[in-house]
Amino acid sequence: MTDTVSESLTPQFEALHAERVRTWEPDKLAKNVDQRRALVAAFDPATVVTVGDTVAPFELATSQGGTVTLDELVARGPAVLIFFRWAGCPACNLALPYYNRQLWPALAAAGIALVAISPHLPEQGLDGIRSRHGLGFPVASDRDNALGRRFGITFARGDVPAGQPTPGWIGELTGTGTAEFPQPAVVIVDTDRIVRFVDVSPDWLVRTEAPQILDAITALKVKAAA
């Protein structure tokens, strides 16, 4: 697969953080940084989905009112699953357009499925991120974080205990009534429903770069042809 990536996510996230340093109140900034640091410290790779795991069937509701299943995603080749927090997440609004520019054209040309997944409910405005950026790939809702929990990638915001009532806007967006979101993650599943690539980032300002995903897809194609 030809690598046409010409930009990186990292400088974009660095610029986002620099803007927050410049404009946010010190207490708010410190809280944000401390939450990210705590998530990194608590992260245990042994608890998340791993290469070689078999993925059981699932069905997700798309942001445009349809559904997408695992069988449909891997029908023609490996599928790339990108987990993000919610449609209004500032970092997600940098990451998904980046993937649309730097990843999706190559995958689409190769007939490889890509879907962005969040617990954000379709009826609560999930499609906003797709329409806002003109994303070419589907955006889908993981209701109740069912798939995220199965993959072991969910977390609770540091300012609200897991399982406890959370500010109304989060409960309305996800329908869970808790402050649970998926950690940013990329999971590649092959046609045999086997996980072939996993990258989970407990820090939401660090995410998988497109070349890593393209390299993983290339490796799969080489292995299949061998």
Look at residue 176 in the predicted model and tell me its pLDDT: 75
Give per-residue pLDDT as tens, 84-128: 999 999 999 999 999 999 999 999 999 999 999 999 999 999 999
What size, in residues, is the chain? 226
Look at residue 123 in the predicted model and tell me its pLDDT: 94
DSSP three-state, residue 184: coil
149 pLDDT higher than 60: yes
Look at residue 144 in the predicted model and tell me its pLDDT: 92
Per DSSP, helices labelled H in 54-151 are 70-73, 92-102, 104-109, 127-133, 146-150
The candidate with the shortest Cα–Cα distance to 14, out of 91, 84, 88, is: 91
- Give 158's pLDDT tier (boundaries 50, 70, 90): very low
Look at residue 1 in the predicted model and tell me its pLDDT: 58
Q: How far apart are CA 224 and CA 226, in angstroms?
A: 6
Q: Is the dihedral of CA 161, 162, 166, 170 positive or negative?
A: positive
159 pLDDT higher than 50: no
